Amino acid sequence: MVLAAGHGRRLGLGPKALVRVNGITLATRAVQVVRAAGALPVVVVGPAAAEVVAAVRREEPAGPLVVVHVDDAAAEGMSASWRAGVQEALRRQPGLPVTVVLVDQPGVSGPVLIRLADTHRPGRITRAAYGGRAGHPVVFDPGHARAAAARVHGDAGARQYLRANRAVVDLVECADLGTDDDLDTPADLARWSAGDRSRVSSRVSPPAPSPARPPGSPDGSAPRGSGPG
């Protein structure tokens, strides 16, 4: 599940999903990454739904795409997108984990999603880490996805749920495969576009050794299925 309903007010360029990086929109980039991992992209969009869908269809026409339109995303923040996306992902692929991907993190790669899928265990939450810092994407087993969706509020996403359930969260080091730096400000975007990702959001940590990857289980399947608090 790709959360792409943000307005991007701090960035000042309109809806974040439509911001172009390296020639394509952030929405299209996220869809490409999810598809590359073998997952079904469930994209949650806000008022700019028509424009976002048109951009993705134009830039990445091949492959399935599920769009969830959330009218009240602005009033409720990320929580409305979270609930709607989880409900749709589980409706389409019941019993499979839900992977949460944020549209404004172009450094997240397909191999990151594949590693999370391959290491995810039933009944757990699997979260990417970068130099030991917990980040995104996050893979929620179905029960945890439903429970988190029922508890989210405001613009915090599943942050509180993750904190309250640390005992079932497995961190998987992914700094060797990508970064989850947010594009929140014009300075972030300028540095990213110029290829200088060392200071984007000031959150990059030195890479740590990554775990071995056991044979995969698909997402939906963990990303290979229903698409990422």
Sequential DSSP letters for the chain: -EE-----TTTTSS-GGG-EETTEEHHHHHHHHHHHTTPPPEEEE-TTHHHHHHHHHHHS-SS--EEEE-TTHHHHTHHHHHHHHHHHHHHHSTTS-EEEEETT-TT--HHHHHHHHHH--TT-EEEEEETTEEEEEEEE-HHHHHHHHHH--TT-TTHHHHHHTGGGEEEEE-TTT-------SHHHHHHHHTT--SSGGG------PPPP-PSP------SSS----
Question: Tens digit of pLDDT for each residue in 129-158?
Answer: 999 999 999 999 999 999 999 998 877 789
Joined together, the tokens standing for residue 39 give: 């997952």
Kindly indicate the confidence band of residue 200, based on its pLDDT and cuts at 50, 70 and 90. Answer: very low
Reference 48, options 24, 21, 81, 86; nearest CA is: 81
Angle at 225 between CA 55 and CA 111, to 5 degrees: 75
Residue-level pLDDT at 227: 41
Write down the pTM of the prediction: 0.82
Domain ranges of the chain: 2-200
Judged against a pLDDT cut of 60, whether residue 197 lies above it is answered with no
Model confidence over 110-120: pLDDT tens digits? 999 999 999 99
Q: What is the pLDDT of residue 28?
A: 96
For residue 215, the model assigns a pLDDT of 32
Q: Scan for tokens 């995303």, then name that residue.
A: 73
Model confidence band, residue 10 (pLDDT cutoffs 50, 70, 90): low
Domain 2-200 CATH superfamily: Spore Coat Polysaccharide Biosynthesis Protein SpsA; Chain A (3.90.550.10)
